[in-house]
Structure 1
Amino acid sequence: MPQIVVSIDGKTYRMACADGEEAHLTGLAADLDTRIGELRGAFGEIGDLRITVMAAIMVSDELSEQRRRVAELEAELARLGAGGGETARAASTGDQRLIEHLLGVSDIVERLAEQLETGR
């Protein structure tokens, strides 16, 4: 199991991860470090634990919002999927009517062509 070393808020942490996840974990740690740096810039020295909890709450809030958006999009996809069946049936009915109409027009054209050929 690979191990990486990350730096968050000036502190170094050794972490284990699955094969191939090293870059992902390093990126997550860098994101957290950036957030903590932004909070320190906004609030000053308010304590390591408090600033880490604030950063965790920010991340959790973003995750919650993304989950809500995914649920809305899934519901919209389900609604569109259900409507798609109705649309397909309506299109099929419309296609059938168009085919029947074109066959009728074709019959008329054939009769007119026959009349023109025979002179009647």
Structure 2
Amino acid sequence: MATVTVEVNGRPYAIGCADGQEDRVVALARQFDQHVREVAGSVGHVGDLRLFLMAALLLADELHDARAALGIVGREPESPADPDAGLAEVLNAVAARIEKIAAGL
């Protein structure tokens, strides 16, 4: 397992990921950071946990809309070769990190 350091809302976070997925995790973190910064610009400073939650909900909404457009809303990944399977792994890692952050508050 590899570890990469990403920056979200001006703060560094060490994130574990599968070997070879480092560039993907960094790119996803940049996308997430953009959403966090948009939320922060709209609502002001409400704490990282709430900013992260709001940004995650925006991303979940975008994912839902994309799946709806493709006609796959509510469908589980069919196999490990399914592109959503890798995304699920990354989202699980992010969720675990958010839970650690929340536990430390």
Task: Return the TM-score normalized by structure 1.
Answer: 0.55
1:20 Cα deviation from its structure 2 partner: 1.6
Tell me the residue number matched to 2:50.
50
Q: Give me the whole-angstrom Cα distance separating, in 2, the residues matched to 1:17 and 1:53.
A: 21
Q: Give me the whole-angstrom Cα distance separating, in 1, the residues matched to 2:13 and 2:50.
A: 19
Tell me the residue number matched to 2:35.
35
Tell me the residue number matched to 1:21.
21
Q: Give me the whole-angstrom Cα distance separating, in 2, the residues matched to 1:68 and 1:40.
A: 28
Q: Which has the higher contact order (CA 8 A, sep 6+)?
A: 2
Q: Give me the whole-angstrom Cα distance separating, in 1, the residues matched to 2:56 and 2:16.
A: 20
1:68 Cα deviation from its structure 2 partner: 0.7
Q: Give me the whole-angstrom Cα distance separating, in 2, the residues matched to 1:13 and 1:42.
A: 23
Over 4 Å off, 4+ runs: none
Task: Return the TM-score normalized by structure 2.
Answer: 0.62
Higher Cα Rg, which structure: 1
Residue deviations 1:18-61, cap 9 Å, x none? 12211100001111111111111122112222211110110000
Establish whether residue 61 from structure 1 lines up as the match of residue 58 from structure 2: no
Q: Give me the whole-angstrom Cα distance separating, in 2, the residues matched to 1:53 and 1:15.
A: 17
Q: Give me the whole-angstrom Cα distance separating, in 2, the residues matched to 1:4 and 1:65.
A: 30
Mapping of residues 78-89 of structure 1, within 5 Å: none
Q: Say what the alpha-carbon RMSD is for the aligned residues.
A: 1.4
Q: Give me the whole-angstrom Cα distance separating, in 2, the residues matched to 1:16 and 1:43.
A: 30
